[in-house]
Amino acid sequence: MSSEQNTGSEVAGQVPMIELRHVEKHFGDLHVLRDINLKVGKGEVLVVIGPSGSGKSTMCRTINRLETIDSGEILIDGKPLPEEGRELAAARAELGMVFQSFNLFAHRTILDNVTMGPIEVQGVPRKEAEESAMALLERVGVAEQAAKVPAQLSGGQQQRVAIARSLAMHPKAMMFDEPTSALDPEMINEVLEVMVELARGGMTMVVVTHEMSFARRVANRVVFMADGTIMEEGSPDEFFDHPTTERARDFLDSIKGH
């Protein structure tokens, strides 16, 4: 899919890659997701932004059911997300997830981290898996580290490996939950560059991030969340330059201050 097709979910007749309908979620008494309705088109890059505790991570994690939902519907490529078992595992295999804290498998080498999914889940022969893993590691610029274990890599390198690990599964879409917020400032760009390249390559992406430059460069749409609801959405330039809600204005002021 080329970047010219990145026109978002509004394309007529196209089934959205990810769709949330009336999604509700509580943590005990806390109402974290309130009637969330969201469509992410094929090849679309959606940036989710909002204050701490607004439910961004939770929403992101419901998409591959790392968090269950109380009610509502989640559709992946038009099909309801399975609730359990083999079908759920298969659905997850088609969705990449990149975590704030990388979560590389601490006991395995970088190469093993990337081949684990293809070998264990998709049954790809080891040799083949290793060849494509090396190509991916090359692509994200950490091929020389293949034999090391995660603890020996910098945060930026680990996060790039985590992206390669997800890509190895040839996902239909990828979720990123604050992929750069655990990184030292000088490492943020190396990770963002990889993500920009992915976006330009037509990957469907949901990215929770406060990196405005990234959002302006590649996002098709920005969604602003607060108190568990989607308060505002629009193109990056619209949203960042002319936010319509008071909450969004306050929030943008607070992050621009840094």
**Site for ligand ATP, rule CB under 6 A:** 27, 30, 32, 50, 52-58
d(CA 161, CA 154): 11
Q: Which residue has the tokens 């917020």?
A: 181
Which of 17, 48, 74, 95 forms a contact with another protein (CB under 8 A)? 95
Long-range CB contacts for residues 48-52, cutoff 8 Å, separation at least 24: 48/206, 48/207, 48/208, 48/209, 48/222, 48/223, 48/225, 49/208, 49/209, 49/210, 49/215, 49/222, 49/223, 49/224, 49/225, 49/251, 50/224, 50/225, 50/226, 50/231, 50/251, 51/226, 51/251, 51/254
Q: How far is the CB of 40 from ligand ATP (least distance, A)?
A: 18
Distance CA 13, CA 213 (A): 31
User: What character string, x for contact with Mg ion (CB under 5 A) and - otherwise, covers 219-248?
Assistant: ------------------------------
The only residue of 9, 57, 158, 204 in contact with Mg ion, by rule CB under 5 A: 57
In whole angstroms, the minimum distance from the beta carbon of 37 to another protein comes to 24
Q: What radius of gyration do the chain's Cα atoms show?
A: 18
Binding to another protein in span 165-184, by CB under 8 A: 165-166, 169, 182
Q: Is 62 in the site for Mg ion (CB under 5 A)?
A: no
In the complex, the smallest distance separating the C-beta of residue 99 from ligand ATP, rounded to whole angstroms, is 11
Q: CB-wise, 169 or 205, nearer to ligand ATP?
A: 205
Instruction: Give the chain's end-to-end CA distance (angstroms, integer).
Output: 36
Cα–Cα distance for residue pair 194/225, rounded to 1 Å? 25
Residue 53 touches which of ligand ATP, Mg ion, another protein, none (CB < 5 to 8 A by kind)? ligand ATP
Would you count residue 27 as binding another protein (CB under 8 A)?
no
Q: Which residues bind Mg ion (CB under 5 A)?
A: 57
Q: Which residues bind another protein (CB under 8 A)?
A: 64, 66, 86, 89-97, 99-101, 103-107, 116-117, 120-121, 151, 162, 165-166, 169, 182
